[in-house]
Amino acid sequence: MQSKKLAGAKPRVSTKQYLDIAEIRDNIVVMKDGTARAVLLCSSVNFALKSEEEQQALISAYVSFLNTLESPLQIVIQSRRLNIDDYLERLKQAEKEQANTLLKVQMADYRKFIAELVQLGQITEKRFYVVVPYNPLSDKRKGVFSRFREAFAPALIVRLREKQFAERKTALLTRVDHAVSALGSMSVKAVMLDTQGLIELYYDAYNPDIRETEKLAEISQLQVESA
């Protein structure tokens, strides 16, 4: 006997078709609609601990930042469970290398206490991102002549696409520099994520359940299958 479910089973559709991201290259996120994104990882400012004068200065800087924007920005706050596995591993290694028996016992107790505290307390950390987009003013619809030329001159299209990407990257980086400078006026340090950082960011966002158990490998070790 043959199961009807197995007989009528169809190959699963790739998850890629549900994502708006076309590719990540040269520290830039390229969307399927041709737009581009850069992501800035930003530090935080403890507003409550500032004096009244400092708070007013921060508010004025933020208002000035908003008024000088020439293009939209996206602010993303991501909350995730605190991961201290690397810290615990360093403590474990230091414990093995410790010659003093008393200190060795104290380090073991401290390591267990920290691990239990994070696990039972469900301690989370927040990360702050600013997404800088670039949307070129171009006609997305292709005419008959353009499609005909692509079919018979693929090498030319590749060169044009590379040139187009370089131009969009330059324009996007100009906006990134402006955003970093404006954020710096508010005592907020911003760093642009590289390709590895972007891949890890989206991997964690789309795989919240397995990101702790299935770590993402380095970009040089990833095997990408073509569509």
pLDDT in tens, 108-151: 899 888 888 877 767 777 889 999 999 876 434 444 445 444 44
**Closest C-alpha among 47, 103, 110 to residue 84:** 110
- Three-state SS for 172-207 is HHHHHHHHHHHHHCCCCCEEECCHHHHHHHHHHHHC
Overall size of the chain counted in residues? 227
Whole-number pLDDT of residue 190: 93
Confidence at 180, pLDDT banded by 50, 70, 90: very high
Does pTM top 0.75 for this prediction? no
Is the CB of residue 108 less than 8 Å from the CB of residue 95?
yes
* pLDDT score for 38: 94
Nearest 5°: phi and psi at 138?
-140, 155
Q: Give me the chain's average pLDDT, please.
A: 78
Fill in the DSSP letter of residue 209: T
Identify which of 109, 128, 111, 122 has the alpha carbon closest to the alpha carbon of residue 83: 122
Q: Does residue 93 surpass a pLDDT of 60?
A: yes
